[in-house]
Amino acid sequence: MILEPVRPIQLSEIREARKRIAQTIVRTPLIRLELGPDFPDIRLKLENLQPINAYKLRGAANAVALLSDSERERGVWTISAGNAGQGVAYAARQARVPCAVVVIETAPKSKLDRMRALGAKLLPVPYEVAWKTLEERSFSGAEGTFIHPFDDDNFIAGHGTMGLEILEDAPDTAAVIASIGGGGLITGVGSAIKALKSEIKIFGVEPETAAPAALSFKMGSPQVFKEWKASFVDGAGGQSAFPRMWERMKPVVNDYFVVSLEETRQAMRLMAEKTRVISEGAGALPLAAALRGEAGKGPIVAIVSGGNIDLNKFCELTAQ
């Protein structure tokens, strides 16, 4: 398969995407986290309030809307740990397009149940197989038009719409922190923000158990993360940095942070206590990073990318 070369995502594409997906997504609130004078000024961008409880709906809605009639007829498929699958399934159902998801078999039950409820046909595979399929872009049993869950210009432009909202609601933003799984979220948001206010710092964050982007930044080239371990942070951190995504992130990301699972758990608890927000592990990484102070005094926008976590698991993690 010959892929289109990697190119910058234009502000015009992001603005067009915004109009295209306006009827599907929610313009999510940006709320201040009140922690007192000893802490950085942190705002939370609540993407957990999207109809699928995760930001992926932005990119999926844009990608599905731009399919040709013949592509729609064939149906769509994607690869996911749960949130991209829900996003594509939701957008596909709205467009009356059949959808299949090659899904990581250890995905939380809540994510699996919701994909099924949205009408997606699930093809469960081990994590390694899913990660390999992301590179190969083909899978026996998955038919139709493949929608890549991060390395796709239309998907990324959809995510960029979040950057427009952030600058409208908090024009004084000094830094934005986003979790990195494949890199589509940070590329989209970073592309929008750097085009409008290049001085704003864009930071990526990963869990200590899966931090290939931070390692790649340190080494200056895309790396495999050999100590990868599965954890409750299932929506961020991969086994490797994809070379194409590394090319996309380089111009728009200033630096990368790595946080511990304990810091992530504490951030989930803090959000629940202070703002009554339920965040999944990946959604709490940016707050965990902001609390360290490495991103400065703020205003810092921490993107709460999703809230899809089994409630029993959430209670177990935040009660400790």
Q: Which fold has domain 11-54+154-319?
A: Rossmann fold (3.40.50)
Q: Where are the domains of the chain?
A: 11-54+154-319, 57-146
pTM above 0.85, yes or no: yes
Alpha helices in the chain (DSSP H): 11-21, 56-65, 69-74, 83-94, 109-117, 127-136, 153-169, 184-196, 212-219, 243-249, 261-275, 281-291, 311-319
3.10.580.10, 3.40.50.1100, 2.120.10.30, 3.30.930.10: which CATH number matches 57-146? 3.40.50.1100
pLDDT per residue over 197-228, tens digit each?
A: 999 999 999 999 999 999 999 999 999 999 99
Instruction: Please state, in angstroms and rounded to a whole number, the distance separating the CA atoms of residues 43 and 34.
Output: 9
Phi (first) and psi of residue 179, to 5 degrees: -70, 150
Q: H/E element holding 149?
A: none
Q: 32 CB contacts (<8 Å, ≥6 apart)?
A: 41, 42, 43, 44
- 257, amino acid identity: F
pLDDT tens figures, 264-305? 999 999 999 999 999 999 999 999 999 999 999 989 999 999
Domains 11-54+154-319 and 57-146 share a fold: yes
Q: What pLDDT score does 31 carry?
A: 97
Is 45 in contact with 277 (CB distance < 8 Å)?
A: no
The pLDDT value given to residue 134? 87
How far is the C-alpha of 62 from the C-alpha of 82, rounded, in Å? 18
